[in-house]
Structure 1
């Protein structure tokens, strides 16, 4: 049986006092894969991959993080941390009686995936991340110092992004971010310019992202707003990598990067990945580069990503059965 988008089901799971939304497809008795989104993403980002892995005999789960999409927001979004998202991921799996999974993370979903494996090694068979590798302790404090005027630095400033985004409707904000993040260069604002001003209203969406996709994203961010999203990841970036002292991820790991992903231009990042320094922390990592790939590989090149993902899952499937 070939599965399609309309077979993705939706449930809510109680986790740490919040009702979290989980999209799901595939048989409950199949080996499980959990997909962790980044920003401005949401469960919907994984639609192509969820269907592909379900058709290949896996069970796909894609939660909305707390404060994102259809999941509840925490009572005080300004106090949310990466640790909350790691704990929520563990709670979701426990409440669904899933003892071990493959974890797939995109963008800051990677910053949840690796510490999750370090804190819950018994729950993780393997990790695949897109757009970000393992982040070492103090990554954004010491190692990858972000340029002034680059969006994460701007959005760290309480109130600044809120004022910037507040000039537009949610759909325009998401549209602008998709256009910005699909570029191959770092998008840097001048001192008296805001991030939203970097996009001309006439700029078209990337060819692989439809108006219908934009509507789906906008509807989910209409519901959640951006309060938690600005807190995690942006306002907690200095804490990245602080969960475990002397971290070493022992499970098989693959990182997929678009050759034109702007992340590779963050000072020190391309070198960290290409030099193999990352293997100090993730000894079993394989890195794959996708030609012409942007930061949005799962949506830009879904067939290629599905093929690489299924290779990884099938090669390591035996680790779920141990």
Structure 2
């Protein structure tokens, strides 16, 4: 971890934080999900650097050490894509591998669609490529479905606001490590789904939680609730949604995302390859939604094998 350097790049008037380690022309950019931050990639960044790659992990605007946008309620996925392009241009990097987790899969794939000449390949964990269009999940899951709750203006803010940032992150890590979709009862809030006595997952330490807590104490959750949860219907502005770069999807078989209506069939049947023809899918039987933190050695090996194949 002491090899990782931290710097700030000014993009559109905002100071965006990036973690950076390793050297050389072959660059991997890691895109986090929620409730994650650059730190979620600590194992993968060191492994990539030790294997001869340069590893970069930004905090999105409004996350962690990066400045928030002036109007967080208007933040979009396009901001992440534009910020990524600006970071690469600022650093003089022409082409990268993108490694993404959770909702980070969306900007990774959109960047590959919009700027294929800048992308060598895409690796995602927990979320496959999803074609644009209305989501089935809100219509087919109960009212207490966590995404539906977090899309409701003010509800998550009130729910999270009862707790400190560290406890919010703790609760979400516990919830998202389970194999069931977090769904609250009608008169229950999402944070109340986790009892205070519930232990952290064994692969996530109190020190890790303290790192996350400190970063979210700084940033809060306002931008994080807008992107991704309140921006899912955003038009990606791409006419043809066929990804033309090689890709790898790593799925933990205990990941609750598999329980989303139609998701398991979409992945296991290979329907996802209609949109990502050059896609390899790897299943890790014990893996949860945080497979890269839970099983870092296995995930690192899968990522490095992919990178070396297309470098």
Residue 259 of structure 1 corresponds to 253
Measure the CA separation in 2 of the matches of 1:159 and 1:185.
Answer: 25
CA distance in 2: counterparts of 1:50 and 1:147, whole angstroms? 38
Query: In the alignment, what sits opposite 1:183?
Result: 178
Change (3 A) 1:135 1:95: same
User: C-alpha distance in 1, partners of 2:136/2:251?
Assistant: 23
Tell me the equivalent position of 2:160. Answer: 165
CA-to-aligned-CA distance 1:238-257 (integer Å, 9 cap, x gap): 22x63312311011000000
d(CA) in 2 for partners of 1:105, 1:205: 23
Distance 1:180 1:98, change over 3 A: same
- Is contact 1:144-1:266 (8 Å) kept? no
- Alignment partner of 1:210 out of 205, 209, 213: 205
Relative distance call for 1:147 and 1:316 in structure 2 (3 A) is: farther
Cα distance between partner residues in 2 of 1:34 and 1:83: 17
| Structure 1 residue 139, shift from structure 2 partner | 5.2
Which residue of 193, 218, 223 corresponds with 2:218? Answer: 223
Q: Which residue of 2 aligns with 1:53?
A: 48
Q: 2:112 aligns with which of 101, 113, 117?
A: 117
For 1:141 and 1:191, how far apart are their aligned partners in 2? 20
Q: Secondary structure at the match of 2:225?
A: helix
The number of equivalent residue pairs is: 311
Gaps of 5+ in 2: none
Aligned-pair distance for 1:14?
1.3
| Coordinate RMSD, CA, aligned | 1.3
Say whether residues 1:15 and 2:2 are aligned partners. no
Match of 1:310 among 304, 307, 310: 304
Distance in 2 (CA, whole Å) between partners of 1:192 and 1:272 is 33
Q: Tell me the secondary structure at the aligned position of residue 6 of structure 1.
A: coil
Alignment partner for residue 200 of structure 1, among 195, 202, 220?
195
Distance 1:147 1:257, change over 3 A: farther
Instruction: Measure the CA separation in 2 of the matches of 1:139 and 1:90.
Output: 27
1:65 aligns with 2:60: yes
Instruction: Output the CA distance in 2 between the equivalents of 1:67 and 1:147.
Output: 30
Asked if 2 retains the 8 angstrom alpha-carbon contact of 1:30 and 1:57, the reply is: no
Change (3 A) 1:112 1:164: same
Q: CA separation in 2, counterparts of 1:53 and 1:266?
A: 32
What is the SS of the residue equivalent to 2:233? Answer: helix
Mapped to 1, the partners of 2:180 and 2:286 lie a distance apart of 13
More displaced stretch, 11-20 vs 87-96: 11-20
1:142-168: CA deviation from partner (whole Å, max 9, x where unpaired):
898554211111000000000001111
Using the size of structure 1 for normalisation, the TM-score is 0.94
2-side partners of 1:144 and 1:264: how far apart? 17
Aligned to 1:243: 237
Q: Distance in 2 between matches of 1:7 and 1:157?
A: 41
Partner Cα separation in structure 1 for residue 2 and residue 246 of structure 2: 32
The residue that corresponds to 2:125 in the other structure is 130
- TM-score calculated relative to the size of structure 2: 0.98
| Corresponding residue of 2:97 | 102
Structure 2 CA distance for aligned equivalents of residues 107 and 285 of structure 1: 17
Instruction: Report the equivalent of 1:320.
Output: none
CA contact (8 A) 1:144 1:269 kept: no
Q: Report the alpha carbon displacement of residue 180 of structure 1 after superposing the two structures with TM.
A: 0.3
Please report how far the alpha carbon of residue 268 of structure 1 lies from its aligned counterpart in structure 2 after TM superposition.
1.0
